[in-house]
C-alpha cells in the first residue's frame, strides 16, 4: 500500500500494516541463523537461542513467566488448543462460550458439541458486554472450560475479564474450577493487559493485529495441558511442528513496541491520543441523524469500549454498499469480522438484540498506531457525505 492508502486504512481489526523495520530485522536474524531449533548441532542451537530469546521477550512484556508462553500459527490456533485439550478427558463435560465470541472460538465450541460435549453460549447485555453474573448463572458442575474474549472485534466492547475470572473462582470455591480462556487478539496492543491475573488460565494473541506478520501467534498457559494434536513434540508437545523462529522474533519485537503497559510510555500516549480521536469521530457521527452508534449507549460510556474499534449503522445504506462507496474513494473499512465477511449472519449484533435492518446496515471502523487525527477527520467527512446522498 502507498503511504496515502495506509493513512486511509480503517480495518485494523482485520489485519494491520506491517512494521517493516521489525520484519526486516527479524528476517535478517533468521537468515543468519537459519537452523532448525530442534536440531542438536551448533546450527540448530543458534536458532534455538533466537527462539528462546523471543519467548523471554514476549514473557517480559506480558509480565508472565517464559515457560508459560507457547508459539502457535496465530490467534485461531491459540484459541483452539485449550478447547481441543478437553477431548482427551475420559468423560465428556460442558463448554461455555460468550455469545459475542470470534468464530475461532464459537465455531470450534460448536464442533465439540458433535463430539458429545454439551455446549452453551453466555448471553450478553444490550451493550455487547458479558457480565460476571451471567457467566456464574451459566456454570454447571460439569463445566470444563469458559471462553470470554477481552475486547470484541466488532463493537470494541471491553469485557470485564478480571471480574469474570474472580466470579468463576468464587463460585467454584471448594469445587473443581473450569478453565477460563481469554481471546486477547483485539486487546493486545489496544488496552492494558494483565495475563498474570490468578483466575486466567489461558490467553490467545496474534501478531498480525499488532503490525507483525501473519502465521504466528502466542498462547499463554498458566498450567500445562495435554495437547490434542500430536507430532514432533515441539513447544513441550503443546504445539508440534517446526518452530517459526522468524515469526516468533517479529511477534516479540511487536509486543515490545506496541503493547500498552507502564513500561512503555509511548504506548500509553498513543492510547490516550486515540481515545481523543475516537471521541471526536463519534461526536461527528452523532450529528448525522442517519447514523446510529452500536450500541447507542457507547456515546455515554466510552470507558467500556476500546477506542480502536467502532460499529455504526447508517439508515438506507446496507453495510456492503457503504464499504464499496468508501472503497471507491480510497477509504478502507469492513462490515465486521474478516473471518465472517462472506457470511450474511452477524452473531455479535444478534446477541445484542440489534434489529435485522440495523445489522444489515452496520459497518466497522477500526484504527491503529499509524492512524492520524487528520485521516479520521477525512473519513468522517466522506462517510457523512455518502450518508447524505442516500438520505436526501
> Over the stretch 169-182, which tens digit does the pLDDT of each residue have?
999 999 999 999 99
pLDDT tens string 140-150: 999 999 999 99
What distance, in Å, lies between the first and last C-alpha atoms of the chain? 35
Please write the tens of the pLDDT for every residue from 246-294.
999 999 999 999 999 888 889 999 999 999 999 999 999 999 999 999 9
CA-CA distance, 218 to 297, in Å (whole number)? 34
Across 102-113, average pLDDT: 96
| Across 345-364, average pLDDT | 94
Residue 266's φ and ψ, nearest 5 degrees, are -65, -40
pLDDT digits (tens, 9 = 90+) for 5-21: 688 999 999 999 999 99
Predicted local confidence at residue 344, as pLDDT: 64
Point out the catalytic residue in the list 147, 184, 211, 339.
339
Output the average pLDDT for the chain: 94
**Residue 70's beta-bridge partner residues?**
219
- For 185-204, what is the mean pLDDT? 96
Residue 107 has pLDDT above 70, yes or no: yes
DSSP 159: P
Cα atoms found within 13 Å of the Cα of residue 371, Cβ hemisphere only: 32
The average pLDDT across 92-115 equals 96
CA distance 256 to 260: 9
291 catalytic? Reply is: no
* Residues 306, 308, 314: CA angle, nearest 5 degrees: 95
pLDDT of residue 19: 96
Amino acid at each position: 500500500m502507498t503511504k496515502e492508502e495506509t493513512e486511509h486504512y480503517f480495518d485494523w481489526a482485520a489485519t494491520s500494516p506491517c512494521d517493516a523495520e521489525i520484519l526486516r530485522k527479524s528476517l535478517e536474524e533468521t537468515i543468519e541463523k537459519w537452523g532448525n531449533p530442534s536440531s542438536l548441532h551448533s546450527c540448530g542451537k543458534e536458532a534455538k537461542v533466537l527462539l528462546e530469546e523471543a519467548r523471554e521477550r514476549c514473557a517480559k512484556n506480558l509480565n508472565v513467566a517464559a515457560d508459560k508462553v507457547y508459539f502457535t500459527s496465530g490467534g485461531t490456533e491459540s484459541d483452539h488448543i485449550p478447547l481441543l485439550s478437553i477431548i482427551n478427558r475420559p468423560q465428556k463435560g460442558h463448554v461455555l462460550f460468550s455469545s459475542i465470541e470470534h468464530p475461532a472460538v464459537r465455531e470450534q465450541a460448536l464442533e465439540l458439541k458433535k463430539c458429545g460435549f454439551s455446549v452453551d453460549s453466555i448471553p450478553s447485555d444490550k451493550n455487547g458486554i458479558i457480565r460476571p453474573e451471567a457467566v456464574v448463572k451459566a456454570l454447571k458442575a460439569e463445566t470444563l472450560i469458559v471462553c470470554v474474549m477481552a475486547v470484541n472485534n466488532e463493537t470494541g466492547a471491553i469485557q470485564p475479564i478480571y471480574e469474570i475470572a474472580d466470579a468463576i473462582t468464587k463460585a467454584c470455591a471448594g469445587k473443581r474450577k473450569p478453565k477460563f480462556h481469554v481471546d486477547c487478539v483485539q486487546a493486545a496492543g489496544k488496552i492494558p493487559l494483565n495475563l498474570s491475573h490468578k483466575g486466567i488460565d489461558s490467553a490467545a494473541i496474534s501478531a498480525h493485529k499488532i503490525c507483525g506478520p501473519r502465521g504466528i501467534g502466542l498462547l499463554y498457559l498458566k498450567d500445562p495441558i495435554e495437547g490434542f494434536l500430536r507430532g514432533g513434540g515441539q513447544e513441550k508437545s503443546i504445539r508440534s511442528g517446526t518452530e517459526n523462529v522468524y515469526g516468533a522474533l517479529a511477534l516479540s519485537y511487536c509486543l515490545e513496541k506496541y503493547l500498552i503497559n507502564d513500561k512503555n510510555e509511548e504506548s500509553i500516549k498513543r492510547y490516550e491520543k486515540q481515545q481523543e480521536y475516537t471521541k471526536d469521530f463519534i461526536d461527528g457521527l452523532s450529528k448525522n441523524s442517519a447514523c446510529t452508534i452500536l450500541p447507542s449507549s457507547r456515546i455515554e460510556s466510552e470507558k467500556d469500549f476500546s477506542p480502536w474499534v467502532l460499529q455504526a449503522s447508517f439508515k438506507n445504506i446496507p453495510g456492503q454498499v457503504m464499504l464499496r462507496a468508501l472503497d471507491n474513494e480510497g477509504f478502507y473499512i469492513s462490515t465486521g469480522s474478516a473471518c465472517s465477511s462472506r457470511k450474511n449472519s452477524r452473531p455479535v449484533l444478534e446477541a445484542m438484540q440489534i434489529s435485522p435492518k440495523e445489522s444489515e446496515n452496520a459497518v466497522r471502523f477500526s484504527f491503529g498506531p499509524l492512524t492520524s487525527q487528520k485521516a479520521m477527520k477525512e473519513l468522517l467527512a466522506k462517510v457523512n457525505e455518502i450518508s447524505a446522498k442516500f438520505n436526501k
